[in-house]
């Protein structure tokens, strides 16, 4: 029987189809990109050590995604986060004698959704197995997981890197996706960990909460690539609505395997597992630190000191520290779970699920690109499915794409940030924003007025037209009205008129300012300039 | 300590092996047909001959009187039982006789590995000493819904691991036929209690013969239903893919009624079947109305491999052969059938069952329930709790199972045994296409002496040879007393095992009923008089 860590045991046996096709299409995306979270980056995928050898890192990631189902995987306890300790427990998830698991159908549905989104091969028949080990937070003494027949395998994920770090498209292989249950949580007194604490308490609210474990091929080469892989996975689960993907709460947990090897060498180096990163930025920094540490050891001829172990990322000291050796690999004594029948799916079910999938981030980005948006805009808009949905609705009204993007990424997102609200929490409808943009475009109001009335739209849910009418803010585009205003200003300022006509043409700005002042800034600027010049120059 | 003035009641004489039919003719007049204790209770309730309280009091008196000798109960719930009986009487006095459940007022015992919310449930293990589950097992729940009066929890081999009930952490149960002998196991407490008249019937569980072998040892009827027929929810798991909840009774009709109540799909057990539950008792008619050849056309197959074994004692083989003759008398055909893979079942069972057990028993760690031993750190607390909590047989099986599932051994043991299991299933399927029911002894011998096999686990395991294959194949099996072997003061009972196809309980019960009602022998355990 093999052990559970399979990710880096062999060079990827299955070249996934995207390498040839998708990358050829998207690899040289060069427009400026945007990163919401990355401060610094190692943009090169290899490190030249002092001994002249060029090293490359090999990175594989195992991600646990906590599913947002209403109830746990094998019982009917609520699976919400943040309740009183042991408030959401029952004989099944407490592992009481005689209790039996019953699979929550939603877990399978979510598993199929993610598997499809990752372009995986779905096993129409898969099974559950028991992964056995003793730990106080594991009530049954085993975790119900999937071992040799997972629900999906052989997929891939498309990632667009932020362009300020070199940009480009990557496609990483997905080894497998499988369903399993989470363990409980330990709360320690007198120490950070079980060993060394004076007492520990067990909270089983999380025990039995469903997880999908996504195992990547060892195909990432930098901390940036790994962080972007994880960010894309988070985007996928959020788009699919199967998890909140929250890393701080632990709804998405990444265990990263890192090894280094001289570039060109096919064998892998000794891999080190890193845990305890609760943001993408931390992931990137932890991995880059670990690569540096390993390359430095190699460089100093101390490569043998790289041990197969688990290291923890310490946010405080910005480094990884050794947690436990993995040399005597655990034997989990997997065997088929006799309490659960096989999971069988029909092709019809899979097809129907496929048909119901929303447009996913990569497809969205490709579509936005084809609309002529810059890569930076594309990445920002497609980052959040709610923002993307809002944008899509706005442009669905036939609104100018670039203007819609600018408004959403500019004033709208600034206001949301300030108010600490999500786009779904405002009263502004996509239709109202579309109308606002159209009113500016057709000259009914100026862009400046548009910005002024936006908060009104966001807070009170009025339409742009209503706001303008209520405040009398519509633009004056009636030539006769403007002409009379200009005439009045000319009549009131004979000196300036004389100076202008004497060659001081810069005074044009003075007259524009005067007209704007009396009109409250509502005069159509283009029309005003045309009329003003014709009057002054006659 | 115990006075053992045994009195042979109206027993049938030990039949001479070669003259069963003659004996039957001679004894026809003295033979009392086994009656359904459950049905009798119902009739006396409905006719107002006795109240439920009177019935329960009667059973409790017998239970208490015989318990010091038999020690079949780990917990006696006299007070609650009387309260439950009062409820039945109240229902009756309010004229609610029509709503009377199938088991209204029937005092029953429940094996201690079935969870009961109002009684401790220890599974016969020290590691669950004093444990009271917060819920009822589905089978228990269904008994209660049918109006049963639960008198207590019966003794058993720790977590079902054993064939003599001597592996109980609490007490050794005696066989009511001979107090110096074991009642069989692991449902030995249930079987002994029914045989001693301490309750009207009982629930047991059967992983490798744990209902059938004690039924045979104690001269009562034991029914191991098909896998999936009865919910396992609330049954402390020993080997999940083999465990079945079943019933023990004084007659076939009693086990049919009990099965009727506990069978059916349960949303809490994904391995419970959606197969419809037939009316098992409907076809169990009084034999007076049957023709002289009521089994004409029925084909029985006697499993050759269970009769050829050197280990099968002569008395047992003779009783089974005599039973076969009796079936032929009733018009059935009995042929010898070979199951080539039969002997592979026992070793496969002793890999698969301990493998699953090693996993199922991992939850007994002292963290959430049961006694917790002291330890310097958590892993030693686990270790100490388990070292103190589990008995030697359980430890032996956990070690065997852990070994069989370990890296490097999985393919040679667990996987190979699963392959054997498939072959055994095929063997049974093929055989059951040629015959309707397979016959075999239940165990190589009748009840043996307490302590006789305790130091020799292997010989204890060999005793499971004839029963484990049925669990590997998931088939239903009915054990009916069929003869008396030499031993004890008045002889020792021997059971006949009748194996049918999956969900074939209905036919098994019908045939078993006819067999039982027409066999001119009585199987009343010698009554104790102190
Ligand atoms: Zn629960």
Higher pLDDT, B98 or A66: A66
Question: CA–CA separation, A369 vs A311, rounded Å?
Answer: 40
Is residue B138 within 8 Å of residue B205, measured between CB atoms? no
Bridge partners, A189 (sequence order): A199
Q: Are residues A410 and A306 in the same domain?
A: no
A331 touches chain B (CB under 8 A): yes
Which of A102, A132, A136 lies nearest to residue B270, judging by beta carbons?
A: A102
Mean pLDDT of chain A: 87
B299 is catalytic: no
In a domain, A319, yes or no: yes
The mean per-residue pLDDT over the stretch B507-523 comes to 96
Whats the size of chain B, residue-wise?
530
Q: Are residues A259 and A298 in the same domain?
A: yes
- Model pLDDT for residues A149-206, shown as the tens digit of each residue: 999 999 999 999 998 888 899 999 999 999 999 999 998 876 666 666 677 899 999 9
CA distance B208 to chain A (A): 16
- Which residue of chain A has the CA closest to B409? A1
**Interface with chain B: mutation pick from A73, A97, A202, A340, highest number of B CBs within 10 Å:** A97
Contacts of B377 in chain A (CB under 8 A): 194-195
Q: Are residues B404 and B420 in the same domain?
A: no
Around B344, how many Cα atoms within 13 Å sit in the side-chain half-sphere?
A: 16
Residue partners of B296: CB distance under 8 A and separation at least 6: B331, B332
Q: Are residues B376 and B423 in the same domain?
A: no
Q: Which of B111, B142, B153, B453 is catalytic?
A: B111
Q: Are residues B192 and B127 in the same domain?
A: yes
In a domain, B107, yes or no: yes
The alpha carbon of residue A377 and the mean position of all alpha carbons in its chain are separated, in whole angstroms, by 15
Rounded to the nearest whole angstrom, what is the distance from the C-alpha of residue A94 to the centroid of ligand 1?
7
**Tokens, residue A279:** 């943001």
Which of A98, A141, A202 lies nearest to residue B233, judging by beta carbons?
A: A98
- Model pLDDT for residues B467-484, shown as the tens digit of each residue: 999 999 999 999 999 999
Best CA proximity match to B122, nearest among B169, B171, B72 = B169
Residue B184 sits in a domain whose CATH number is: 3.90.1300.10
Question: CA–CA separation, A202 vs A181, rounded Å?
Answer: 17
The DSSP-derived string for B482-518 is EEEES-TTT-EEEEEEEE-STT-HHHHHHHHHHHHHH
Question: CA–CA separation, B457 vs B210, rounded Å?
Answer: 16
From chain A residues 58-97, the ones with a CB under 8 A of any chain B CB are 91, 94-97
- Model pLDDT for residues B26-42, shown as the tens digit of each residue: 444 467 889 999 999 99
Q: Do B363 and A141 touch (CB under 8 A)?
A: yes
In a domain, B89, yes or no: yes
Contacts of B402 in chain A (CB under 8 A): 333
B395 is catalytic: no
Residues lining ligand 1 (ion), CB within 5 A?
A 75, 77, 90, 92-93
In a domain, A341, yes or no: no
In a domain, A4, yes or no: no
**Tokens, residue A324:** 């436990």
Q: Are residues B494 and B420 in the same domain?
A: yes
Q: Are residues A49 and A157 in the same domain?
A: yes
Q: Do B411 and A1 touch (CB under 8 A)?
A: yes
| Residue at which a domain ends, from A312, A330, A348 | A330
- Model pLDDT for residues A72-83, shown as the tens digit of each residue: 999 999 998 889
- For residue B255, is pLDDT > 90? yes
| Residue at which a domain ends, from A414, A436, A471 | A471
A150 touches chain B (CB under 8 A): no
**Interface with chain A: mutation pick from B405, B409, B418, B471, highest number of A CBs within 10 Å:** B405
Q: Are residues B425 and B407 in the same domain?
A: no
Q: Are residues B99 and B143 in the same domain?
A: yes
Is residue B112 within 8 Å of residue B190, measured between CB atoms? no
Bridge partners, B203 (sequence order): B110, B247
Cβ contacts of A343-346, under 8 Å, gap ≥ 24: A343/A103, A343/A108, A343/A125, A343/A126, A343/A127, A343/A128, A343/A151, A343/A179, A344/A124, A344/A125, A345/A108, A345/A112, A345/A122, A345/A123, A345/A124, A345/A125, A346/A124
- For residue B373, is pLDDT > 90? yes
Q: Are residues A425 and A462 in the same domain?
A: yes
Q: Are residues A513 and A392 in the same domain?
A: no
Question: CA–CA separation, B420 vs B306, rounded Å?
Answer: 18
For A485, the domain range is 479-536
Tally of domains within chain A: 3
| Residue at which a domain ends, from B371, B394, B414 | B414
- For residue A16, is pLDDT > 60? no
What is the reported pLDDT for A191?
Answer: 66
Which of A136, A141, A331 lies nearest to residue B407, judging by beta carbons?
A: A331
Q: Are residues A255 and A316 in the same domain?
A: yes
The DSSP-derived string for A210-253 is EEEEEEE-S-B-SHHHHHHHHHHHHHHHHHHTS----TTTTSEE
The mean per-residue pLDDT over the stretch A64-77 comes to 98
Tally of domains within chain B: 2
What's the pLDDT band for A96 if we cut at 50, 70, 90? very high
In a domain, A5, yes or no: no
Which of B128, B270, B410 lies nearest to residue A339, judging by beta carbons?
A: B270
- Model pLDDT for residues B376-405, shown as the tens digit of each residue: 888 899 999 999 999 999 999 999 999 999
Is residue A129 within 8 Å of residue A334, measured between CB atoms? yes
Is residue B186 reached through a cis peptide bond, with omega within 30 degrees of 0 on the bond before it? yes
In a domain, A508, yes or no: yes
Best CA proximity match to A27, nearest among A231, A163, A215 = A163
What's the pLDDT band for A49 if we cut at 50, 70, 90? low
Question: CA–CA separation, B213 vs B233, rounded Å?
Answer: 24
Q: Are residues A44 and A90 in the same domain?
A: yes
Q: Do B233 and A100 touch (CB under 8 A)?
A: yes
Best CA proximity match to B59, nearest among B111, B119, B2, B109 = B109
Residue partners of B48: CB distance under 8 A and separation at least 6: B92
Contacts of B407 in chain A (CB under 8 A): 1-3, 331, 333
Which of B121, B135, B405 lies nearest to residue A333, judging by beta carbons?
A: B405
Around B174, how many Cα atoms within 13 Å sit in the side-chain half-sphere?
A: 18
Residue B192 phi, psi (nearest 5): -65, -40
Q: Are residues A175 and A273 in the same domain?
A: yes
Q: Do A134 and B356 touch (CB under 8 A)?
A: no
Q: Are residues A162 and A195 in the same domain?
A: yes
Q: Do B269 and A139 touch (CB under 8 A)?
A: no
B304 is catalytic: no
**Tokens, residue A259:** 């090894």
Q: Are residues B323 and B231 in the same domain?
A: yes
Q: Are residues A35 and A127 in the same domain?
A: yes
- Model pLDDT for residues A439-469, shown as the tens digit of each residue: 888 877 888 888 988 988 998 888 888 888 7
Strands A210-216 and A199-203: unpaired
Rounded to the nearest whole angstrom, what is the distance from the C-alpha of residue A79 to the centroid of ligand 1?
9
From chain A residues 334-363, the ones with a CB under 8 A of any chain B CB are 334-335, 338-341
Contacts of A139 in chain B (CB under 8 A): 363, 367-368
**Interface with chain B: mutation pick from A98, A127, A142, A185, highest number of B CBs within 10 Å:** A98
Residue A529 sits in a domain whose CATH number is: 1.10.10.410
Question: CA–CA separation, B297 vs B291, rounded Å?
Answer: 13
Is residue A12 within 8 Å of residue A173, measured between CB atoms? yes
- For residue B143, is pLDDT > 90? yes
For the ranges A211-220, B88-97, B516-525, the lowest mean pLDDT is seen at B88-97
SS3 B61: helix
For B372, the domain range is 345-414
The alpha carbon of residue B179 and the mean position of all alpha carbons in its chain are separated, in whole angstroms, by 19
Question: CA–CA separation, A165 vs A131, rounded Å?
Answer: 41
Question: CA–CA separation, A65 vs A427, rounded Å?
Answer: 32
Helix locations, B109-187, DSSP H: 138-145
- For residue A41, is pLDDT > 50? no
Which of A94, A142, A341 lies nearest to residue B270, judging by beta carbons?
A: A341
Rounded to the nearest whole angstrom, what is the distance from the C-alpha of residue B272 to the centroid of ligand 1?
20
Q: A57 vs A19, A48, A130, A223, A267, CA distance in Å?
A: 19, 11, 33, 9, 12
Contacts of B135 in chain A (CB under 8 A): 91, 96
Contacts of B274 in chain A (CB under 8 A): none
Render the burial of A360-389: b for 16+ CB within 10 Å, e for the rest.
bbbebbbebbeeebbbbbbbbbbbbbebbb
How many residue contacts between A and B have a Cβ separation below 8 Å? 113
Helix locations, B222-313, DSSP H: 252-262, 304-308
Q: Do A132 and B362 touch (CB under 8 A)?
A: yes
For the ranges A139-143, A422-426, B143-147, the lowest mean pLDDT is seen at A422-426
What interhelical angle do A494-501 and A508-519 show, nearest 10? 150
- Model pLDDT for residues B415-436, shown as the tens digit of each residue: 999 999 999 999 999 999 999 9
The mean per-residue pLDDT over the stretch A285-309 comes to 94
Mean pLDDT of chain B: 92
Render the burial of A323-343: b for 16+ CB within 10 Å, e for the rest.
eeebeeeebbbbbbbbbbeeb
Q: Do B406 and A98 touch (CB under 8 A)?
A: no
What is the reported pLDDT for B530?
Answer: 40
SS3 A509: helix
- Which residue of chain A has the CA closest to B381? A136
Q: Are residues B115 and B167 in the same domain?
A: yes
- Model pLDDT for residues A381-397, shown as the tens digit of each residue: 999 999 999 999 999 99
What interhelical angle do B52-70 and B37-46 show, nearest 10? 150
Contacts of B355 in chain A (CB under 8 A): 335
Q: Are residues B394 and B485 in the same domain?
A: no
Which of B235, B267, B378 lies nearest to residue A98, judging by beta carbons?
A: B235
| Residue at which a domain ends, from A315, A330, A345 | A330
SS3 B110: strand
- Model pLDDT for residues B277-330, shown as the tens digit of each residue: 999 999 898 988 888 899 999 999 999 999 976 779 999 999 999 999 999 999
What is the reported pLDDT for A196?
Answer: 66
Q: Which of B125, B174, B210, B358 is catalytic?
A: B210
Bridge partners, A340 (sequence order): none
Question: CA–CA separation, A385 vs A372, rounded Å?
Answer: 20
Q: Are residues B387 and B426 in the same domain?
A: no
Residue A252 phi, psi (nearest 5): -135, 120
Rounded to the nearest whole angstrom, what is the distance from the C-alpha of residue B389 to the centroid of ligand 1?
26
Question: CA–CA separation, B325 vs B331, rounded Å?
Answer: 10
Q: Are residues B370 and B494 in the same domain?
A: no
Radius of gyration of chain B (CA): 22
| Strand segments (E) across B23-123 | 73-76, 107-111
In a domain, A343, yes or no: no
What is the reported pLDDT for B509?
Answer: 98
Q: Are residues A74 and A90 in the same domain?
A: yes
Around B412, how many Cα atoms within 13 Å sit in the side-chain half-sphere?
A: 6
From chain A residues 179-198, the ones with a CB under 8 A of any chain B CB are 194-195
Q: Are residues A516 and A367 in the same domain?
A: no
In a domain, A229, yes or no: yes
CA distance B134 to chain A (A): 8
SS3 A130: strand
Is residue B413 within 8 Å of residue B404, measured between CB atoms? yes
**Tokens, residue A48:** 């030249």
Residue partners of A312: CB distance under 8 A and separation at least 6: A274, A275, A276, A320, A321, A323
- Model pLDDT for residues B440-475, shown as the tens digit of each residue: 999 999 999 999 998 888 888 889 999 999 999 999
Which of B267, B270, B363 lies nearest to residue A95, judging by beta carbons?
A: B363
Rounded to the nearest whole angstrom, what is the distance from the C-alpha of residue A127 to the centroid of ligand 1?
21
How far the first Cα of chain A sits from its last, in Å, is 96
From chain A residues 199-218, the ones with a CB under 8 A of any chain B CB are 200, 202
Q: B497 vs A423, B225, B294, CA distance in Å?
A: 72, 13, 20
In a domain, A512, yes or no: yes
| Widest distance between CA atoms in chain A | 102
Q: Are residues B354 and B257 in the same domain?
A: no
């Amino acid at each position: 029987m093999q052990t559970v860590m399979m990710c880096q045991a062999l060079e990827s046996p299955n070249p996934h189809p995207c390498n040839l096709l998708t990358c050829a299409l998207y690899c040289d995306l060069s427009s400026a990109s945007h990163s919401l979270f990355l401060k610094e980056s190692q943009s090169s995928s290899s490190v030249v050590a002092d001994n002249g050898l060029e090293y490359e890192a090999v990175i594989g990631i195992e991600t646990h995604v906590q599913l947002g189902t209403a109830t746990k995987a094998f019982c009917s306890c609520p699976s919400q986060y943040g309740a009183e300790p042991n408030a959401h427990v029952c004989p099944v998830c407490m592992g009481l004698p005689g209790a039996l698991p019953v699979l929550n159908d939603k877990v399978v549905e979510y598993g199929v959704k993610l598997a499809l989104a990752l372009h995986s091969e779905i096993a129409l028949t898969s099974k559950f197995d028991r992964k056995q080990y003793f730990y106080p937070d594991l009530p049954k003494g085993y975790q119900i997981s999937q071992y040799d027949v997972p629900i999906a395998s052989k997929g891939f994920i498309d990632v667009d890197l932020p362009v300020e770090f070199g940009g480009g498209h990557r496609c990483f292989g997905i080894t497998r996706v499988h369903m399993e249950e989470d363990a409980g949580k330990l709360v320690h007194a007198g120490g950070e960990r079980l060993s060394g604490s004076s007492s520990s308490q067990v909270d089983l609210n999380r025990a039995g909460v469903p997880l999908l474990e996504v195992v990547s091929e060892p195909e990432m080469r930098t901390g940036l690539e790994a962080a972007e892989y994880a960010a894309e996975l988070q985007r996928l689960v959020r788009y699919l609505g199967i998890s909140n993907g929250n890393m701080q709460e632990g709804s998405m947990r990444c265990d990263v395997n890192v090894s280094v090897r001289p570039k060109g060498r096919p064998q892998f180096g000794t891999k080190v597992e890193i845990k305890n990163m609760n943001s993408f930025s931390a992931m990137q920094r932890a991995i880059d630190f670990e690569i540096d540490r390993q390359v430095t050891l190699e460089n100093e001829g101390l490569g043998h000191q790289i041990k197969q172990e688990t290291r923890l990322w310490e946010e405080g000291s910005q480094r990884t520290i050794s947690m436990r050796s993995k040399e005597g690999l655990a034997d989990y004594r997997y065997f088929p779970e006799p309490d659960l029948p096989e999971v069988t799916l029909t092709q019809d079910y899979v097809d129907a699920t496929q048909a119901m999938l929303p447009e996913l981030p990569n497809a969205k980005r490709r579509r936005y690109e084809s609309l002529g948006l810059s890569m930076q805009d594309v990445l920002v808009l497609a980052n959040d499915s709610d923002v993307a949905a809002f944008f899509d609705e706005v442009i669905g009204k036939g609104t100018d794409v670039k203007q819609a993007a600018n408004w959403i990424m500019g004033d709208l997102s600034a206001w949301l940030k300030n108010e600490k609200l999500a786009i779904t929490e405002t009263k502004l409808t996509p239709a109202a924003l579309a109308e606002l943009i159209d009113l500016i475009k057709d000259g009914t109001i100026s862009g400046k007025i548009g910005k002024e009335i936006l908060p009104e739209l966001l807070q009170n849910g009025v339409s742009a037209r209503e706001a303008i009418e209520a405040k009398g803010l519509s633009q004056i585009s009636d030539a006769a009205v403007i002409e009379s205003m200009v005439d009045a200003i000319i009549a009131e300022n004979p000196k300036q008129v004389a100076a202008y006509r004497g060659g001081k043409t810069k005074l044009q700005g003075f007259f524009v300012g005067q007209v704007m002042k009396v009109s409250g800034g509502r005069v159509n600027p283009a029309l005003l300039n045309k009329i003003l010049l014709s009057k002054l120059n006659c | 300590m115990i006075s053992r003035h045994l009195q042979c009641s109206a027993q049938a004489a030990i039949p001479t092996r070669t003259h069963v039919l003659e004996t039957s003719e001679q004894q026809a007049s003295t033979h009392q047909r086994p009656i359904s204790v459950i049905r009798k209770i119902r009739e006396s309730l409905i006719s107002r001959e006795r109240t439920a309280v009177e019935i329960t009091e009667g059973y409790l008196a017998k239970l208490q009187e015989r318990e010091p000798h038999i020690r079949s109960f780990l917990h006696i719930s006299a007070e609650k039982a009387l309260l439950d009986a009062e409820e039945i009487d109240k229902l009756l006095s309010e004229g609610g006789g029509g709503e009377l459940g199938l088991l209204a007022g029937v005092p029953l015992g429940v094996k201690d590995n079935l969870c009961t919310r109002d009684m401790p449930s220890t599974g016969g293990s020290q590691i669950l000493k004093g444990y009271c589950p917060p819920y009822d097992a589905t089978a228990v729940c269904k008994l209660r819904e049918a109006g049963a009066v639960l008198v207590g929890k019966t003794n058993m081999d720790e977590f079902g691991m054993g064939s003599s009930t001597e592996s109980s952490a609490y007490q050794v149960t005696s066989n009511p036929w001979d107090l110096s002998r074991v009642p069989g196991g692991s449902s030995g407490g249930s079987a002994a209690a029914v045989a001693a008249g301490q309750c009207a019937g009982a629930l047991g569980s059967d992983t490798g013969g744990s209902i059938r072998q004690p039924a045979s040892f104690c001269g009562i009827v034991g029914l191991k239903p098909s896998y999936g027929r009865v919910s396992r929810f609330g049954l402390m798991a020993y080997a999940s893919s083999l465990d079945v909840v079943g019933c023990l009774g004084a007659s076939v009709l009693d086990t049919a009624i009990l099965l009727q109540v506990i069978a059916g799909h349960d949303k809490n057990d994904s391995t419970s079947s959606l197969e419809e539950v037939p009316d098992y008792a409907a076809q169990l008619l009084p034999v007076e109305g049957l023709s002289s050849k009521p089994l004409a056309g029925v084909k029985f197959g006697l499993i050759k491999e269970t009769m050829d074994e050197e280990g099968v004692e002569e008395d047992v083989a003779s009783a089974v052969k005599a039973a076969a003759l009796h079936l032929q008398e009733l018009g059935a055909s009995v042929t010898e059938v070979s199951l080539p893979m039969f002997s592979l079942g026992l070793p496969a069972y002793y890999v698969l069952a301990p493998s699953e057990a090693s996993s199922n028993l991992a939850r007994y760690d002292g963290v959430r329930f049961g006694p917790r031993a002291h330890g310097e750190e958590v892993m030693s607390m686990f270790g100490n709790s388990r070292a103190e909590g589990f008995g030697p047989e359980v430890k032996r099986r956990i070690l065997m199972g852990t070994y069989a599932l370990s890296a490097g051994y999985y393919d040679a043991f667990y996987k190979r045994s699963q392959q054997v299991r498939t072959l055994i299933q095929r063997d049974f399927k093929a055989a059951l296409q040629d015959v309707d029911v397979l016959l075999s002894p239940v165990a190589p011998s009748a009840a043996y002496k307490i302590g006789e096999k305790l130091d020799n686990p292997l010989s204890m395991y060999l005793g499971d040879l004839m029963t484990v294959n049925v669990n590997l194949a998931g088939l239903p099996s009915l054990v009916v007393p069929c003869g008396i072997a030499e031993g004890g003061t008045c002889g020792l009972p021997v059971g006949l095992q009748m194996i049918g196809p999956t969900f074939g309980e209905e036919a098994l019960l019908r045939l078993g009923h006819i067999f039982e009602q027409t066999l001119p022998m009585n199987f009343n355990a010698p009554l104790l008089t102190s």
